[in-house]
Amino acid sequence: MNRIKSVAKEKTSLNNYEVDNIYQSWCHQPPQSPARVVSAKGVRFTTEDGRERLDFSSCFVSHNIGHQDQRVVDAICKQANKLTSFAPSFSTEPRAILGKMLEDITPGNLGTSFISLGGTEANEAAIKIAQQYTGKRKIVGRYRSYHGGTGASMSVSLGDPRSWAVVTGTTDVVAVPQPYCYRCPFGHKYPACNMQCIKYTEEVIKLEGGDEAIAGMICEPVTGANGIIVPPPEYFPMLRDICDKYGIMLIADEVMTGFGRTGKWFALDHWDVVPDILSLAKGLTSGYFPLGATVTTKEVGKYFMDNMFSHGATYAGHALGCATAAEVIKIYESDNLIENSATLGKYLLEKALELKEKHPIIGDVRGLGLFVGLELVKNQKTMEPLIPIDAKIRKGLNPKLELGKRLGELGMMAMAANPSNVIAMAPPLIATKADIDEGVSIMDEALEVLRKYTE
Ligand SMILES: Cc1ncc(COP(=O)(O)O)c(C=O)c1O
């Protein structure tokens, strides 16, 4: 029988275990261990070498309320001492409470939730619910999207190089473009475009069988990893109308944009649009516990009283996770974090626009709330992307990772490892004006490392 061999805790051994025993996400496996984080507090984290850095990415846009909030740690310990988890065929107090809280904070008639363990699971459930509820199979997705790393979520992550290696065939997917005005796929300029992207989407829907074939359309209301793409205000209301016209369920993937990131509880609230299904994770627990939620309308919920809900998981509605989420949601409210995101987000956007004046490598600046992106180009006039859009994810540093590395040296983490040419700034929603000034000033200095690429 195998037994645990001696496991050492000193630095060299831990480094070796990381390299020999652990897969790192979405990269060629590196020969060295990544930096080891030993603690984090508020908007900062500390690595093993004792160096403190500013977290200007909220750990991939998840730790919205900041690190190590004692109220959440206490809530987790309290629940852990009572009941960590139980079989999902039983109710637990935290699960029931979270279900009700999600009904209260989500718009319209949303309010029946399936609670899972993360963003990709939330989207898997969303896609299955749309297919079961409508009895149709096709899902419309948009290029430049990321919806998660598992089968169906990856199939709808269209145009994200992370999906190129995966041919799952699990979902019938139809692709349409995004309202990416900086590089309009139709060569138009907003608003003279008359929303050609929406017209084209409707044409594709008709060609693909419309109300007979299409179950759902999945969108990130503000596209995250693929470029902080903020739609024009008419886009989602128009899309909502098209979905209604063809009996298509609008699935809003608010895994990144939910819970105040864009300055409202949910990004679609900016345009008063209510989806049929809302996918949540990340800010739901602010990273204190892995949790996802797929929130449907109550009407859809009722449908599954007479029809089998064909989805589930051992850890569905995990008690510790639900207790964590309930505490985190209270904190968004009690600490006015959503308002802070709206106010400081405007300030961050202004500061980012100033960076564009100084750095020819920045072609465009976009953002909503504390979710601001700088799109990197070789030349502001020709708009040539810094990294070609069809570039494979190659081994070694690309210019954007070079920027990420420089930021690290200067004392900050931003979202540099995503697939697009956009570097995203998304500090925790507890950030202060001074934190924003510090982050922007580090970004200012770090961007110098890219000057050699400008033409
Ligand atoms: C919009 C969006 N959806 C889904 C996911 C997947 O979430 P998870 O990594 O929790 O599976 C992500 C992750 O970054 C995301 O940004």
Domain edges within the chain: 21-68+337-453, 70-334
The pLDDT of residue 359 is: 98
Sort strands 277-280 and 138-142 into parallel, antiparallel or unpaired: unpaired
Q: Which residues partner with 296 through β-bridges?
A: 112, 277
The pLDDT of residue 167 is: 56
Tell me the C-alpha distance between 195 and 191, whole Å. 7
Question: Which residues lie below 8 Å from residue 282, measured CB to CB, with a gap of 6+?
Answer: 60, 61, 62, 64, 119, 255, 256, 258, 259
CATH superfamily membership of 21-68+337-453? Aspartate Aminotransferase, domain 1 (3.90.1150.10)
The pLDDT of residue 165 is: 76
Tell me the C-alpha distance between 247 and 202, whole Å. 13
Whole-number Å distance, alpha carbon 124 to ligand 1 midpoint, is 11
Q: Which atom of ligand 1 is nearest to the CA of 121?
A: 11
The pLDDT of residue 161 is: 86
Is residue 162 helix, strand or coil? helix
CA-closest residue to ligand 1 atom 10:
119
The preferred substitution site among 57, 62, 145, 146 for testing ligand 1, maximizing ligand atoms within 8 Å of CB, is 146
Q: Which two tokens stand for residue 345?
A: 């987000």
User: Would you call the peptide bond into 179 cis, given omega within 30 degrees of 0 as the criterion?
Assistant: no
Smallest CA-to-CA distance from 126 within 88, 95, 169, 155 is with 155
The pLDDT of residue 169 is: 57
Whole-number Å distance, alpha carbon 405 to ligand 1 midpoint, is 23
Whole-number Å distance, alpha carbon 419 to ligand 1 midpoint, is 13
The pLDDT of residue 164 is: 81
Whole-number Å distance, alpha carbon 193 to ligand 1 midpoint, is 31
Q: Which residue has the tokens 């510090």?
A: 438
Is residue 269 helix, strand or coil? helix
Q: What are phi and psi of 116, to 5 degrees?
A: -120, -150
Question: Cα angle vertex 107, ends 106, 110, to 5°?
Answer: 70
The pLDDT of residue 396 is: 76
Tell me the C-alpha distance between 306 and 222, whole Å. 35
Pick the CATH number of 70-334 from 3.40.640.10, 3.60.15.10, 3.40.50.300, 3.30.365.10: 3.40.640.10
Q: Which atom of ligand 1 is nearest to the CA of 282?
A: 10
The pLDDT of residue 162 is: 86
The pLDDT of residue 107 is: 98
Whole-number Å distance, alpha carbon 4 to ligand 1 midpoint, is 34
Q: Which atom of ligand 1 is nearest to the CA of 290?
A: 10
C-alpha 46, offset from chain centre? 24
Smallest CA-to-CA distance from 304 within 152, 129, 89 is with 129
Q: pLDDT tens digits, the chain, 455 residues: what are they?
A: 899 888 999 999 999 999 999 999 998 899 999 999 999 999 999 999 999 999 999 999 999 999 999 999 999 999 999 999 999 999 999 999 999 999 999 999 999 999 999 999 999 999 999 999 999 999 999 999 999 999 899 999 998 888 887 655 567 999 999 999 999 999 999 999 999 999 999 999 999 999 999 999 999 999 999 999 999 999 999 999 999 999 999 999 999 999 999 999 999 999 999 999 999 999 999 999 999 999 999 999 999 999 999 999 999 999 999 999 999 999 999 999 999 999 999 999 999 999 999 999 999 999 999 999 999 999 999 999 999 887 767 777 789 999 999 999 999 999 987 788 999 999 999 999 999 999 999 999 999 999 999 98
Pocket of ligand 1 (CB under 6 A): 60, 118-120, 123, 146-148, 220, 224-225, 253, 255-256, 281
The pLDDT of residue 391 is: 74
| Residue 383, number of CB atoms within 10 A of its CB | 13
The pLDDT of residue 395 is: 79
CA-closest residue to ligand 1 atom 16:
256
